[in-house]
Structure 1
Amino acid sequence: MLNTLKVVLVAIGFASLVACANVGKPYPEHRVPDIQTGQTTRAEVEQMFGKPWRTGMENGQVTWTYGQYHYGVFSEAETSDLVIRFKPDGTVASYSYNRTGPNNGDPAASSSAP
């Protein structure tokens, strides 16, 4: 009986360790306010944030996505994503920044700041 209890407790402990997922990669969220629509170039975005985690197209515009997502069974999800859309001339057409968890939506309060 005692051995069975130990096995169950070890299994629960192991399950709680592996019951979370991390996707994406960290990026300096505190730099989001530095993006200037119509002025900031792709090269400047890459200098600020590094290579994008994902690239694509939206309505004919090149998009770069920076994101980090942490999901846990026993904790609230913490996510942040930055999607930048570029004009044909290579400058920023628009961008969106979204965050869940602590400091929700405030890049200045982000834990990614140095």
Structure 2
Amino acid sequence: MKKNITQYIIIFFSLILVTSCTTFGKSFSGDFSNIKINSTTRSEVEANYGFPYRAGIDNGFKSYIYVYLKVKPFGELQSKEFVIRFNENDTVKDYAYYSSFENDKKIIFETNK
């Protein structure tokens, strides 16, 4: 009897693992209208988005990378990546946004026709 209960518990938790989603990072939208090139400061970026997942140097410029990952059951991976490079005076030099989420892809292509 005790062996059967243990088997049911293992099966139950295995089903939960297989059917649940796992996320990494904090989700963010694809609306970056609050970011102005050569105007928005690094401090303002941090106030709006928090501290980045990664920070580094890209072609001599400080850069921040924000990442959000969502793993669905059976291994389907969706991701968002927001990359910001800063000028020497800590204002935004440029930024890039990449997403594999269907809603984001629709918004990106609708607004950039």
> One fold, TM greater than 0.5?
yes
Q: List gaps (5 residues or longer) in structure 1.
A: 108-114
Q: TM-score, normalised by structure 1?
A: 0.70
Provide closer, same or farther for how the CA distance between residues 27 and 73 of structure 1 changes in structure 2, counting only shifts above 3 A. closer
Answer yes or no: is 1:22 the counterpart of 2:23: yes
Who is 1:13 aligned against? 15
* Mapped contact 1:31–1:48 kept (Cα < 8 A): no
Matched with 1:110 is: none
Instruction: Tell me if structure 2 keeps the 8 A contact 1:76–1:101.
Output: no
Pick the structure with more helix per residue: 2
Preserved CA contact (<8 Å) 2:30 2:97: no
Percent of counterpart pairs with the same letter? Answer: 27
Runs in 1 of length 4+ with deviation above 6 angstroms?
Answer: none
- Tell me the residue number matched to 1:100: 100
Return the structure number with greater relative CO, CA threshold 8 A, min gap 6: 1
| Greater strand fraction, Structure 1 or Structure 2 | 1
Question: What SS does structure 1 have at the residue aligned with 2:104?
Answer: coil
Match of 2:36 in 1: 36
- Aligned residues: CA RMSD: 2.6
